[in-house]
Amino acid sequence: MTCRPAGRAWIASFPRPPLVRILRAHLATFNEGPQDRLFYGVKADDLPFITYRRAWKAARKKALTEKEFASPLAARPYDLRHACVSTWLNAGVPAPQVAEWAGHSVDVLLRIYAKCIVGQDEAAKRRIADALGE
């Protein structure tokens, strides 16, 4: 998925809403290194995949409408990454900046997310008119 060599860490720098700051504070207090996990199983080992799935399903059921829950919306935790990148693009953050934050090239970013960019026509036309002094 990335162009990074195996084992090479990537650290992103992007806007952090309050919940991310809380998570970072928790990790700074309770985790000892980059390989530490946020959640552990009963025997202090990896949390079984089915446990993640059950928790995610319960969270979706609580947060979404019945129609949304029945849809593929946020079907997997990883889908939140796509929601985040789409939100940045739709907020008008320039593609090169979003690509940097997401760890993509601009080419990959636009190939994947161009179809998610909606409702920016009028704002783009205003920026062009302003640039032309109209």
Where do the structural domains in the chain lie, given as residue ranges?
15-73, 78-134
Phi first, then psi, for residue 35 (nearest 5°) are -90, -5
- Residue 8 is predicted with a pLDDT of 63
Query: Full-prediction pTM beyond 0.75?
Result: no
Average pLDDT over residues 112-116: 87
Answer for the pair 80, 86: CB distance below 8 angstroms, yes or no.
Answer: no
Alpha-carbon gap, residue 100 to 97, rounded angstroms: 5
For residue 131, pLDDT beyond 90: yes
Are the CB atoms for 9 and 16 separated by under 8 Å? no
Count of alpha carbons within 13 Å of 53, Cβ hemisphere only?
Answer: 3
DSSP class of residue 48 equals P
Q: Would you call 19 helix, strand, or coil by DSSP?
A: helix
The beta strands (E) that lie in the chain are given as: none
Place of tokens 């080992």: 45
